[in-house]
Amino acid sequence: MSTTDLSEINAFVPGSDVSLRGRPTGPLSGLTFAAKDLFDVSGYVTGAGNADWARTHTPAAQHAWAVQTLLDAGADLIGKTITDELSLGIFGENPFYGTPVNVNAPGRVPGGSSSGSAAAVAAGLCDTAIGTDTGGSVRVPASFCGLYGIRPTHARVPTHGMLAQAPASDTTGWFARDAETFARVSAAMLNVTIPSVLPTKLLVAPDAFAFADASVSAALQDAVERLAALIGNRSEAVLAPVGFATWSRAQRTLQPAQAWLTFRDWLDEVNPRLAFSVIRNLLAGAQVSPQEHEHAELVREEARGHINALLPPGTIMCLPTTPFPAPPRAAPYSSQAKWRARINCLCSHGGLTGVPQVSMPLGCVDGLPVGLSIIGARGEDATLVAVARALEAQ
Amino acid sequence: MSTTDLSEINAFVPGSDVSLRGRPTGPLSGLTFAAKDLFDVSGYVTGAGNADWARTHTPAAQHAWAVQTLLDAGADLIGKTITDELSLGIFGENPFYGTPVNVNAPGRVPGGSSSGSAAAVAAGLCDTAIGTDTGGSVRVPASFCGLYGIRPTHARVPTHGMLAQAPASDTTGWFARDAETFARVSAAMLNVTIPSVLPTKLLVAPDAFAFADASVSAALQDAVERLAALIGNRSEAVLAPVGFATWSRAQRTLQPAQAWLTFRDWLDEVNPRLAFSVIRNLLAGAQVSPQEHEHAELVREEARGHINALLPPGTIMCLPTTPFPAPPRAAPYSSQAKWRARINCLCSHGGLTGVPQVSMPLGCVDGLPVGLSIIGARGEDATLVAVARALEAQ
């Protein structure tokens, strides 16, 4: 990708030429990073992927926690990346700023909402990039762009200075092309040493592999075998006994309901221009009945109990990150709605239960990348990173 | 207004410099007109007040009926005017092209959706302008801008080449500053001679005057007295026996349901950027239940029967066009939603029953114009125009 320039990839917010040097002697010195335009960079407006949001907000007074942490660790910030509007989108197509190019899947979407961050890393424009994952916004672009990506344990990484969408599910995540860089960045962001001790038990989720396209499950089998060989103790266990549709429905109730609370005052004040799909999503959140909301909260509690029992420390589970590789760009809303519903099914455990997840670029279907994910108990973020690093080092 | 230039008023679609001479020896020779950007002008894209609509449509192959008719009658077309997006709006604030300036109510909205047409005529930039009225989009800006404006009998004026919104309610209307010009244009558009014989009975709608602000009803009393003196036979009659709220609810069921059918394929294909208020309105149409729709159809039938009995030929009724003068610009969505609901109450008889209505600039509240309307039996358009002309000539 040495000949790729910025404009070809369209990963960065137009007109926002941010460039900040990291601390000279940090553990990430020599690395470059980009920040999704949901993270505050002091002196710049956080634009959130929407021209009317940018127009109605003032420059940030200080850096977001994640930006400050990477600068303190020595990485250089090279730009602010395009995001789906208000982080509400899973395909990475932004009608204001365009769709970042997925160099690993030409003609396909990059995935979103951390679209520009994933596209920039995939294209080699920077070594790592931060994103947000509320309903899949790091995991999905990691899978579609062929990258390592993490959704940390909910509330594990401070979100100060990151634009909220649905705080009960919001997380800060990051991407890298290789597991070694991914581990270095993870150590800084998690403020831990990545352990050398690996988990002792691997669960394979048959329901998740059955839910994905057969071609995806087949494409990931080699990686599952390698993972099983690495861990040494493999068995099967169902991830979602009540069904992905039920979990997804709960997450698609709770997340939009909270997003509506986040954005309703701004919507009222500004009457902004947003894509049809984004407003439809927001209004779905406005229309959740108390009964439906209460039921979704119960499903969330049940899911948390199940996953806590399923994944004690020392046990991890693997599943396909997405049910298919990146779909074509510029598809009709109705097609995207069907794809999004299936993607949500394989992602909803994250927002519902808060468990950490790492997606690894270990599958390929018809030349298109697709990720294999591992999840673990809350707080086992570094263990998942250790597994990714050990698997790459094999 | 002789020093007013185009850019100060912001009535015209940016970058669309249309200029076409009318037939040299027509009855409207010497007059200039503008066309709301919902009407086709051959060789130009009809933009419908939305950048994504303009981007996804090709130039028109021929003039709309209304444009051709005015050109044939001798008027010169001087430009395409700004409209609320897809004609879905009543205040005239367009987030893509800005809000046309209401020279007769500084700091206030022009009213919509025929905002630019009304603003251009009010500012003296042209003699007349065509607009569309589905739920009030000519009547409301006529009232707010202090103009003569007509919503013709439904299906009386051909709508070929006019972008549909809700065909069961859509009409083509026009504006003028004075009744004489208004009558000349009306004669051409209606293809009739404006009669000299006036109606013989005037009904005053006490429910409509009670529904308007007290200051508006008071401000229109002189005009009502002059009208009564002109007609000679005055009595009171309720316009909406079942209540304006019931009629408005029916119209706000039927119109958005049909608008959804009009625009849903484009929304699906393009996933366009639209103002939050516009998409909320469209989605309300998507969510109408069959039961609610059936009930609304019954209310429409009942309203038609009532108004047919109320308004035989020779009888007209007067009412305030709007319940208040133009509200301030840039109000929050929640404030506008309340104002819109009240405006709809005084406008819904048009879309429901199809009767013609002429708004006359005969009221003033705190320096702000407000219109007095007259309605008549279906097909009595020219009679209403005759009344407006005779009243001005008194």
Per-residue pLDDT reduced to its tens digit, A249-283? 999 999 999 999 999 999 999 999 999 999 999 99
- Please enumerate in sequence order all residues whose Cβ is within 8 A of that of B145, keeping only pairs 6 or more positions apart, or say none: B102, B103, B104, B105, B110, B111, B118, B119, B121, B122, B175, B326, B369
Of A87, A113, A115, A248, the catalytic one is A113
Could A273 and B273 be called an inter-chain contact, meaning their C-beta atoms sit closer than 8 Å?
yes
A153 and A240 co-located in one domain = no
Over residues B117-165, the pLDDT tens digits come to 999 999 999 999 999 999 999 999 999 999 999 999 999 999 999 999 9
Pair (B92, B141) in one structural domain: yes
CB-CB under 8 Å, B277 with A279: no
Range A297-311 average pLDDT: 97
Q: Are residues B179 and B207 in the same domain?
A: no
What is the arithmetic mean of pLDDT over B100-105? 98
Instruction: Identify the pLDDT of residue A181.
Output: 98
- What residues in B contact A93, CB-CB < 8 Å? 271
Confidence band of B7 (pLDDT split at 50, 70, 90): confident
**In sequence order, what are the residues at sequence separation of 6 or more whose Cβ sits closer than 8 angstroms to the Cβ of residue A83?**
A36, A37, A38, A48, A49, A94, A112, A113, A114, A115, A116, A117, A131, A132
The alpha carbon of residue A277 is apart from the nearest alpha carbon of chain B, in Å, by: 6
| pLDDT tier at A5, thresholds 50, 70, 90 | low
Q: How confident is the model at residue B31 (pLDDT cuts 50, 70, 90)?
A: very high
Chain A residue whose CA is closest to B275: A273
Quick one: tokens of B293?
């729709």
CB A64 within 8 A of CB A40: yes
Q: Which of A127, A157, A190 marks a domain boundary?
A: A190
B113 is an active site residue: yes
Reduce the DSSP state of residue A172 to 3 states and report it.
strand
For B21, B115, B188, B358, B359, the CA distances from B182, given in Å and listed in that order, are: 20, 18, 10, 10, 11
pLDDT digits (tens, 9 = 90+) for B358-370: 999 999 999 999 9
- Which residue in the list B87, B113, B248, B373 is annotated as catalytic? B113
Residue B1 falls inside a structural domain: no
Q: At what angle do helices A276-286 and A244-270 cross, to 10 degrees?
A: 100
* DSSP symbols for B302-317: HHHHHHHHH--TTEEE
**A224: Cα within 13 Å, side-chain hemisphere:** 20
Judged by CB atoms closer than 8 Å, whether chains meet at A271 and B272 is answered as no
Residue type, position A48, single letter:
A
pLDDT interval class at B3 (50, 70, 90)? very low
Residues B198-219: pLDDT tens digits?
Answer: 999 999 999 999 999 999 999 9
The partner residue sitting opposite B276, judged by closest CB among A93, A95, A271, is A271
Tell me the pLDDT tens digit for each residue of A186-241: 999 999 999 999 999 999 999 999 999 999 999 999 999 999 999 999 999 999 99
- Residue from A347, A291, A348 nearest A321 by CA: A347
Q: Write down the pLDDT at residue A16.
A: 80
Q: How far is CA B165 from the centre of its chain?
A: 13
CA distance A106 to B282: 35
CATH number at residue A312: 3.90.1300.10
**Three-state DSSP class for B17?**
coil
pLDDT band at B6 (very low <50, low <70, confident <90, very high): low
- Decide if B276 and A272 are in contact by the 8 Å CB cutoff: yes
Are A71 and A211 in the same domain? no
- Cis preceding-peptide flag for B42 (omega within 30 of 0): no
Q: Is the CB of residue A94 less than 8 Å away from at least one CB of chain B?
A: no
Token output for B84: 């609320």
Query: What are residue B148's phi and psi, to 5 degrees?
Result: -75, 135
What is the percent of chain B where pLDDT is above 70? 98
Assigned domain for A238 exists: yes
pLDDT at B47 over 70: yes
Element (H, E) at B225: helix B214-231
| pLDDT range class, residue B5, cuts 50, 70, 90 | low
In this structure, is the dihedral angle defined by the CA atoms of residues B372, B378, B383 and B389, taken in order, positive or negative?
positive
Q: Is the dihedral of CA B23, B25, B30, B36 positive or negative?
A: negative
CA distance B394 to B390: 6
Q: Is residue A270 part of a domain?
A: no
Please tell me the distance from the alpha carbon of residue B348 to that of residue B357, in angstroms, as a whole number: 12
Please state, for a pLDDT cut of 70, what percent of chain A lies above it: 98
Of these residues, A114, A115, A117, A137, which one is catalytic? A137
Residue B391's identity, in one-letter code, is L
Sign, Cα dihedral of B252, B255, B258, B260: negative
Task: Read off the DSSP letter of residue A195.
Answer: P
Instruction: Select the residue of A268, A275, A336 nearest B273 (Cβ to Cβ).
Output: A275
A245, A341 contact by CB (below 8 A): no
Q: Are residues A160 and A236 in the same domain?
A: no
* CA angle at B100 for the pair B94 and B103, rounded to the nearest 5°: 150
The residue count of chain A comes to: 394
Kindly state whether residues A121 and A225 are assigned to the same domain: no
**B169 has catalytic annotation:** no
Distance CA A292, CA A289 (A): 5
Mean pLDDT of B263-287: 96
Quick check: A31 pLDDT over 60?
Answer: yes
B230, containing H or E segment: helix B214-231
With bands split at pLDDT 50, 70 and 90, how would you rate the model's confidence at A15?
confident
Question: How many domains would you assign to chain B?
Answer: 2
Q: Which domain holds residue A143?
A: 6-190
- Position B23 pLDDT exceeds 50: yes
Split at pLDDT 50, 70, 90, the class of A7 is: confident
Our CA dihedral for B80, B86, B89, B90, rounded to 10 degrees, sits at 40
Cis omega (within 30 of 0) for bond into B113: yes
Dihedral pair phi/psi, residue B368, rounded to 5°:
-105, 135
Mean pLDDT of chain A: 96
**First-last CA distance in chain B:** 26
Whole-angstrom distance, CA of residue B274 vs CA of residue B54: 12
The size of the A-B interface in CB pairs under 8 A is 68
Query: What average pLDDT does range B286-291 have in this prediction?
Result: 94
Burial class of residue B180 (count of CB atoms within 10 Å of its CB; 0-12, 13-18, 19+): middle
Cα angle B247, B251, B254 (rounded to 5 degrees) comes to: 140
* Sequential DSSP letters for A5-43: -HHHHT-B-TT----BPPPTTSTTTT-EEEEETTB--TT
Say whether pLDDT at B2 is over 60. Answer: no
Q: Any chain A CB within 8 A of the CB of B52?
A: yes
List the alpha helices (DSSP H) in A271-374: 276-286, 290-310, 333-353
Flag whether A367 is in a domain.
yes
Q: Say yes or no: B183 and B207 in one domain.
A: no
Q: Are residues B99 and B180 in the same domain?
A: yes
Residue A1 has pLDDT above 80, yes or no: no
A170 and A149 housed in the same domain:
yes
Question: CB distance B274–A273 less than 8 Å?
Answer: yes
Say if B112 falls within a structural domain.
yes
A185 and A297 inside one domain: no
Nearest Cα to Cα of residue B81 among B104, B55, B58, B111? B111
Is the pLDDT score of A3 beyond 70? no
Active-site residue B137, yes or no? yes
Residue A43 predicted with pLDDT over 70: yes
Interface test with B, best of A52, A99, A276 (most B CBs within 10 A): A276
User: Does any domain span residue A237?
Assistant: yes
Which H/E stretch holds residue A148? strand A148-151
Residue A283: inside a domain: no
Residues A178, A214 within the same domain: no
DSSP B35: E
| Residue B213 token pair | 């602000």
CA angle, corner B390, sides to B386 and B394, nearest 5?
175
- Whether A269 sits inside 8 A of B52 (CB atoms) is no
How far is A178 from B191, CA to CA, in rounded Å?
Answer: 75
> Is the predicted pLDDT of residue B1 greater than 50, yes or no?
no
Q: What is the C-alpha to C-alpha distance for residues A378 and A153, in angstroms, rounded to an integer?
A: 5
Average pLDDT over residues A139-162: 98
Note the Cα A261 to chain centre separation in Å.
Answer: 22
- A274–B273 C-beta distance less than 8 A: yes
Exposure of B49 in the CB half-sphere (CA atoms within 13 A): 35
A375 forms beta bridges with A317, A357
* pLDDT value at residue A2: 40
| Three-state secondary structure readout of A345-375 | HHHHHHHHHCCCEEEEEEEEECCEEEEEEEE
Please indicate, yes or no, whether the overall pTM of this predicted structure exceeds 0.95: no
> Is the pLDDT assigned to residue B27 strictly greater than 50?
yes
- Residues A383, A343 share a domain: yes
Q: Does the structure show a pLDDT above 60 at B326?
A: yes
Q: Mean pLDDT score of chain B, rounded to an integer?
A: 96
Name the CA radius of gyration of chain B, rounded: 19
Query: Is residue B283 within 8 angstroms of chain A, CB to CB?
Result: yes
SS3 A152: coil
The verdict on residue B274 lying in a domain is no
d(CA B324, CA B105): 12
Other CB atoms within 10 Å distance of the CB of residue B63:
23
